[in-house]
Amino acid sequence: MPFPISNNSIQSKGRLLSLSSPVVMGILNATPDSFYTKGRDNNVAGMLRTAEKMLNDGATILDIGGASTKPGQALMDSSEERNRVIPVMEALSREFPDAWLSVDTYNAKVAQEAVTAGAHIVNDVSSGRFDPTMIATVAALGVPYIAMHMQGTPADMQINPAYENVTLEVISYLQNVCQQCAAAGIKDVIIDPGFGFGKTVAHNFELLTSLSDFSILGRPLLAGLSRKSMICKPLKVNPDEALNGTTALNMVALQQGARILRVHDVKEAREVITLWQYLNKNVLT
């Protein structure tokens, strides 16, 4: 049976997005230094072409980011990030008015400008830790918020990450963030356990096999597994060669209750969802 969720839609700018069936979020990196950049042209024209392909391949949401958060990366100044993100957001909003757009940022100023430029969702890897004004800013904007768990910062998160119980600690962290969001007035929160952000391979797989436990938070669940080290290290491949592993783990995430797959490869993720629907006899006819 499909995994039950208690919060199966989000609202933004007068629009409703149903998550009763899983959707795909395509990753658009407006940065030259992300961990996976193969085939990506990060100027505006190139990103429009990539966005069009992603939408044609079945993406529901496009997630635009201008600051790399790969291991060892320092935090970026908001002005440089803004210069990367806002022109792309404006162009995407103009060219694809029916698409749902998300801004991947930990800076409240960038979030505010991006929503003004057309973004419907704010995706914050720090859950407000890097910018203490973020949660209040998102509440004032009235848009959904993706809250992710990260131990430490990108600069140090992969230096001996440690937990007594990774699943319980990540759930507790996200529960606290959800409470902060509710107190601030954010109505729609999506939770992301943060695969690869301050976790060993073992931590990541423990989280993946325990994803169903996150249903206790009553929020839609996002899984961002695409081409990450938890795939590359066991298979001894680089990110360019990690599509097959990504596809395999995306199916596991769906079986554990994920409602958004955040991916570089939209067509393959959409196919996984279609097969998951057949497995669960949840096909629209």
Higher-pLDDT residue of 126, 39? 126
Residues 45-62, mean pLDDT to the nearest whole number: 96
Confidence of residue 6 (pLDDT cuts 50, 70, 90): very low
Integer Cα distance of 108 and 132 in angstroms: 8
Provide the terminal-to-terminal Cα distance of the chain, rounded to the nearest Å.
18
Q: Return the pLDDT at 172.
A: 98
Computed from CA positions of residues 149, 93, 115, 141, in that sequence, does the dihedral angle turn out positive or negative? Answer: negative
Q: What 8-state DSSP symbol labels residue 221?
A: B
Question: Using 50, 70 and 90 to split pLDDT, how confident is the model at 282?
Answer: low
166 in a domain, yes or no?
A: yes
Assigned domain for 3 exists: no
List the structure tokens of 18: 């149903």
From 84, 259, 262, 270, active-site residue? 262
Question: Is 228 a known active-site residue?
Answer: yes
Q: Which of 271, 249, 248, 273 is nearest to 259 (CA)?
A: 273
CB within 8 Å of 112: residues ≥ 6 apart: 137, 141
Q: Does 169 fall in a domain?
A: yes
The tally of domains found in the chain comes to 1
Confidence band, pLDDT 50/70/90 cuts, at residue 3: very low
Share of the chain above pLDDT 90, in %: 81
Is the pLDDT score of 284 beyond 60? no
Task: Give a yes or no: residue 18 inside a domain.
Answer: yes
For position 129, what pLDDT does the model report?
95
Looking at per-residue pLDDT, the higher value among 223 and 79 belongs to: 223
pLDDT of residue 7: 65
Arithmetic mean of pLDDT, 185-199: 96
Residue 165 has pLDDT above 80, yes or no: yes
Give the residue-averaged pLDDT of 179-203: 96
Judge whether residue 184 has pLDDT over 90: yes
Q: Does some domain include residue 284? A: no
Q: Residue 262 — very low, low, confident or very high, per pLDDT cuts 50/70/90?
A: very high
Residue 23 lies in a domain: yes
Residue type, 246: T
Q: What is the DSSP string of 30-66?
A: --TTSS--TT---SHHHHHHHHHHHHHHT-SEEEEE-
Distance CA 120, CA 130 (A): 21
Structure tokens at 217: 């938070």
- The whole-number average pLDDT for the span 144-163 is 89
Give me the domain span that covers residue 139. Answer: 9-279
Task: Name the β-bridge partners of 223.
Answer: 261
- Does 285 map to a domain? no
85-132 pLDDT tens trace: 999 999 999 999 999 999 999 999 999 999 999 999 999 999 999 999
Q: What is the predicted pLDDT for the residue at 75?
A: 82
| Length of the chain counted residue by residue | 285
Backbone angles phi, psi at 64, to 5 degrees: -105, 125
Active site residue 259: no
Residue 197 resides in a domain? yes
Query: Coil, strand, or helix at residue 164?
Result: coil
Listed range (90-104, 143-157, 216-230, 266-280) with the worst mean pLDDT = 143-157
Region 70-79: mean pLDDT is: 80
Mean pLDDT for 189-196 is 97
- CATH number for the domain that contains residue 80: 3.20.20.20
201: phi then psi, degrees, rounded to nearest 5: -55, -45
From 84, 228, 259, 270, the catalytic residue = 228
For residue 173, the model assigns a pLDDT of 97
Average pLDDT of the chain is: 92
